[in-house]
Amino acid sequence: MNSLLKKIFAPRRMEYLTIDRNFKITDTSDGLKRFADKPEEAVVGKEITLGFPEFFGIEDILVAIQQGRQADFHLKGIARYSETESPLYIDINIIAYPDGENLENRLFIFFEDVTEKLLLEQALVQKSNEANLLLSSLSAAKDYIDKIINSMVEVLLVTTLSGKIKKINQAAENLFGYSEAELLGQPITKIVTEWASEALRARQRYRQSPANHQPSLGCELFKDVEVNCQTKAGKKITIAFSCSTISTDIEDLQNFVYVGRDTTERRRTQEELIKTLEQEKELRKLKSRFISIASHEFRTPLAMILLSSDILKQYGHKLSEDKKSKQLDKIKVTVSNMTRLLDDILTINQTEAMQVSFNPVPIELKKFCQELAEEIELATNKTHDFVFQCQESEVSAEMDEKLLRQIVTNLLSNAVKYSSPGSTVYFDLLVKKGWAIFKIRDQGIGIPQPDQGRLFETFHRASNVGNVSGTGLGLAITKGAVELHSGTIAVESEEGQGTTFTVCVPIVQPKELTT
């Protein structure tokens, strides 16, 4: 009943009007005014465009329909509302009917209320447009952020708290040589081979008590910490990373964001600088040690000379000739020791400046070595057994006799010096493929591993030499002399077991070197 009443009294959905050839209204249905833009103008006799502005400009279409050149014309969804009123939408249809009285067609214009339909449509369009606007602004924002991230010179990595990679930028792809797809979901340790302890601690602290940190704000965990990384190709690089947390879409679930710079080059130069500085420091240490050794080495004999000359001066007249000459001998030996020391210093200076003259001459090595060994055995008061061995009947060679003497003497006297009396010193001479090989082996204190590499450096002395005196020059001189012969010198040693020095020298000197 109720709905029937509503239907009866409800405004009609359709109204109409007719117009003449001058576009003046000739007839209207009762409820037409409701659909007019200006209702007072929607009356018989008025021009249609006054009450219905949508007809303005399409007069030629009206004429065409009236004359039968065009069947009809539709305008859909014309809105009629101002802010305060409830909206009204209408569809308009224009058609022509033959008029009984005149011979002309009459133009009928029908109006249909389509508010309900259009309001529904509006709701749909609104939703769809809003969604599309949101989408386009989101994708524009994402695009923009992606561009920023990818234009960064710095490497960018985002990982989960457990270290799974979630995002990397272009710079990271370039530096590490992986594509993003190869790294997504992988642990960050795939590229970071070694974390600095500072970084590890900061992250650990965070993981244990994230509540201590402001969750909504990103917080910086560490800044510019250098860590070792490895590229896909296996190249080792150093990256200075800064790390912060960011919150994800889930509250209090955080991610780590790493931003890093490649500092491989910087670190290398830094390391080089440190090395040079250390060498410099070492050299200064060696020099001052040399000065103290030298002054010690000089002071002891000088004191001895002083003592002997004092004795001669004060008690000279009381001393027997025999005792006098003993004191004089002492002075002589001491002076010759000092001379040797001075010689050493001079030699080393010369060899280091490559100023030593090199004069290879024909020489028979077997005899030369044998005699030299005997000489040294005697000079060292036969405290050690010397065993010289050579399978050859004779070894003719071309070498600098003075330098060769220095080489063999130094090595043999070292063997005596650094092994206990009664032990044996082995001296082998071998010939192999044009090379003369001198092997000098003792059963002495040996050389600690760390010292072996630096044994031939000027002033370097092994850490276990104790009270045994030495200038730290002998082996440097020896090496210089070997190198003048285009030879090599090597050492094998074990602490407490003994030491073997092996010197290899070409039997005949290459021509261009003999000049």
Residue 176 C-beta: closest distance to another protein, Å:
33
Where in 58-97 is the site for another protein (CB under 8 A)? 58-61, 73-79, 89
How many angstroms separate the CA atoms of 440 and 415, rounded?
8
Q: Are 29 and 15 in contact (CB under 8 A)?
A: yes
Angle at 134 between CA 129 and CA 139, to 5 degrees: 125
53 near another protein (CB under 8 A): yes
Residue 106 C-beta: closest distance to another protein, Å:
22
32: amino acid identity, one letter? L
Region from 16-24, 64-72, 135-143, 424-432 binding another protein, contact rule CB under 8 A: 135-143
426 near another protein (CB under 8 A): no
Q: Which is nearer to another protein, 76 or 235 (CB)?
A: 76
Residue 275 C-beta: closest distance to another protein, Å:
51
Burial status of residue 244 (CB atoms within 10 A of its CB: 0-12, 13-18, 19 or more): middle
Residue corresponding to tokens 């060498």 = 279
232: amino acid identity, one letter? K
Which of 349, 381, 360 has its CA nearest to residue 471? 349
Residue 15 C-beta: closest distance to another protein, Å:
18
DSSP string, 230-261: E-TT--EEEEEEEEEEEE-SSTT-EEEEEEEE
* Strand residue runs (E) in 248-380: 254-262, 361-364
Where in 25-44 is the site for another protein (CB under 8 A)? 37
Residue corresponding to tokens 């030699």 = 347
Q: Which is nearer to another protein, 118 or 183 (CB)?
A: 118
Q: Which is nearer to another protein, 126 or 497 (CB)?
A: 126
Burial status of residue 241 (CB atoms within 10 A of its CB: 0-12, 13-18, 19 or more): buried
Residue 75 C-beta: closest distance to another protein, Å:
6
Contacts with another protein by CB under 8 A: the residue count is: 30
Q: Are 425 and 442 in contact (CB under 8 A)?
A: yes
Residue 42 C-beta: closest distance to another protein, Å:
15
135 near another protein (CB under 8 A): no
How many angstroms separate the CA atoms of 460 and 482, rounded?
18
Region from 117-125, 167-175, 375-383, 388-396 binding another protein, contact rule CB under 8 A: 117-125
Residue 151 C-beta: closest distance to another protein, Å:
17
132 near another protein (CB under 8 A): yes
Region from 131-139, 173-181, 193-201, 353-361 binding another protein, contact rule CB under 8 A: 131-139
147 near another protein (CB under 8 A): no
Burial status of residue 397 (CB atoms within 10 A of its CB: 0-12, 13-18, 19 or more): buried
383 near another protein (CB under 8 A): no
Binding mask 185-214 for another protein (x = CB under 8 A): ------------------------------
Residues that bind another protein in the complex, under the rule CB under 8 A: 37, 49, 53-54, 56-61, 73-79, 89, 118, 121-122, 125-126, 129-130, 132-133, 136-137, 140
